[in-house]
Chain A
Amino acid sequence: MRCSVGVTMKLEDALEMICQTHPGMVRSHNEDSVACESACGLVVLADGMGGYNAGEVASGITVSVVTTEVSQSLQNVNPTQLDEETGDEYGVLLLRDNIQRANASIYYAAQSQPQYAGMGTTVVAGLFYDNRVAVAHVGDSRLYRLRGESLEALTRDHSLLREQIDSGMISIEDARLSKNKNLVTRAVGIDAKVDTEIHVHNVQVGDVYLFCSDGLNDMVEDEDIQSTVYAMQGNLPLAMEQLIQMANDNGGRDNVSVILVKIKGRFASQGNWLARMLNLFKK
């Protein structure tokens, strides 16, 4: 099962990824959208907002634009390659550019049609390459990482509540009771430009990554999320089902979406490997 260190696997063999979305127990329709593309190591989750059916439209556009465009581009570029202009890796650039592209589509649609005015969406996307993951997020959809026994949030919500916690106005305990849980300070599609936060993290064999909409973390305590992902890491489909079930058992007041990615082996980039070999020869 375990792959020894140093041996590089194909991306789709090195990663096990699954995703699911559920409307929850209260809402009639699902405004969340999810996708995972195991062949290119990409996952995208979006939680839409806006009256009428605009929320699911906004999240749907974002997920489809980011998945199609990024997977398309990855056929031609190596994510570890550096962009000469910005100095960023293409892996980072592809996420940023395509979230911006989705932003433009939603913004334009919202501008031209009154019933879509103000529609927008959160997004959290992960691109796995070269033993790393580039994580892009806007809004309050999250990424958690289980490493060993500890579960850690790798994203920081762009929400009023998070700002209040960070500035010390409100304690984490009081935050549970806040009425402002649903106020995000950034979203895709509400302005002409979107400010996407992107960080790159190293991954380790055995890590489990959990991407989720607030329908999970608002309904289920972090402690229960941790114990579920930890106990069920050997059976991801069951873990996913259990997480969604817990959110629904606790009231399921929101749509709940879950993506789980387990690192089964190392996946150094082919291009990088080649470059390293070439460097060896140069010496």
Chain B
Amino acid sequence: MAAKLILSMNGAVLKEYPLNKERMTIGRKAHNDIVIDNLAVSGEHAAVVTIMHDSFLEDLDSTNGLEVNGVPTKKHFLQNNDVIEIGKHKLKYINDQITQTTSADFERTMVMRGSPVGKPPAAKAGTMKTQASGVEELVEKTGSFDASGSAAKPAAVKPAAQGEAGKAAVVQILTGANAGKELELVKNLTTLGKPGLQVAVLTRRPNGFFITHVEGAKFPLVNGKELTNQAYQLKDHDVIELAGIKMEFYFKG
């Protein structure tokens, strides 16, 4: 159950607002998530940012400010049963759910705190030293970064060719001016046709080769059957027909 705010005035409950958005604004103007139509309330008075089970209240530079449990405040980490006061209105924060903690998921992308804000990103000469110290600082801060780096993070590698995609495949043109020509499917994506007019693509995936219609009035035919919007997995000796040209797909060797 989401946490909520209960709006009341002079002890009478007016409305309940579940905190179901990451950021909810409170103010006099109609576009706020919680609208309090009272002149003591600024157009955009405050915002509540909810992060999982926690909510944070911040004053959006309102004219009359706000109080939490009787204390004027600009920013506040809301606790169950806190009472926010804006003018004569009160908002009670209810969050009685049990906090759940999952095991820490070890992080991948990390921030290197070495570069102070304002410093140009590409430091030129002598960067080796500053960068090295940057890394050290990071090691200290996180305690989990392996500076020597081992193989924990392999770089982008193409998957080893395997299965049908490992086999070389060819499209041979059967009709038209280029009849007899062979097109070897060495790239991950081979375009047939011309962008803007009629295009189909042949894609190489780990589990084989596929043909997909991209654009154009007519869908390509495979063995005389029109393709749908779905990619179609090509089989040995399938005959493709695109813009009147027939071609045959086959595996080599």
Binds A, one of B2-10, B86-94, B119-127, B174-182: B119-127
In the assembled complex, the Cα of A158 lies from the Cα of B122 at a distance in Å of 9
Chain B interface main SS type: loop
Residue of B nearest to A247 (CB): B156
- How many chain A residues sit at the interface, stated as a range, is 35 or more
Inter-chain contact B159/A183, CB cutoff 8 Å: no
Q: Do B49 and A61 have beta carbons less than 8 Å apart?
A: yes
Kindly list chain B residues whose C-beta atoms are within 8 Å of the C-beta of A251.
156-157, 159
Contact B189–A49 (Cβ < 8 Å): no
Q: Is A204 an interface residue (CB 8 A)?
A: no
Tally of contact residues, B, Cβ under 8 A: 64
Q: In the complex the two chains form, what is the Cα distance from A108 to B110 in whole Å?
A: 19
Cβ-defined contact, A163 with B121, below 8 A: yes
| Residue A195, interface by CB 8 Å | yes
Partner of A179, one of B118, B124, B142, B149: B149
A68 contacts B109, CB within 8 Å? no
B191 adjacent to A227 (CB under 8 Å):
yes
Closest to A110 in B: B51
Shortest beta-carbon contacts, A-B, top 7: A234-B215, A179-B149, A231-B191, A166-B122, A49-B109, A185-B115, A195-B117
Other CB < 8 Å A-B pairs besides A218-B156, A254-B108, 11 of them? Answer: A55-B107, A108-B75, A112-B56, A118-B142, A120-B111, A182-B108, A183-B138, A191-B117, A228-B189, A234-B216, A245-B205
**Could you jot down 26 A-B contacts, CB within 8 Å?**
A49-B111, A50-B107, A53-B52, A54-B51, A57-B52, A68-B23, A108-B75, A112-B77, A118-B142, A162-B122, A164-B127, A177-B155, A179-B149, A182-B110, A184-B109, A186-B111, A195-B117, A214-B109, A221-B156, A227-B187, A227-B189, A230-B195, A233-B195, A235-B215, A249-B206, A250-B157
Please list the residues of chain B having a beta carbon within 8 angstroms of any beta carbon in chain A.
21-23, 31, 49, 51-52, 54, 56, 58, 75, 77, 101-102, 104-115, 117-118, 121-125, 127-128, 131, 134-135, 138, 141-142, 149, 152-153, 155-159, 187-189, 191, 195-196, 199, 201, 203, 205-206, 212, 214-216
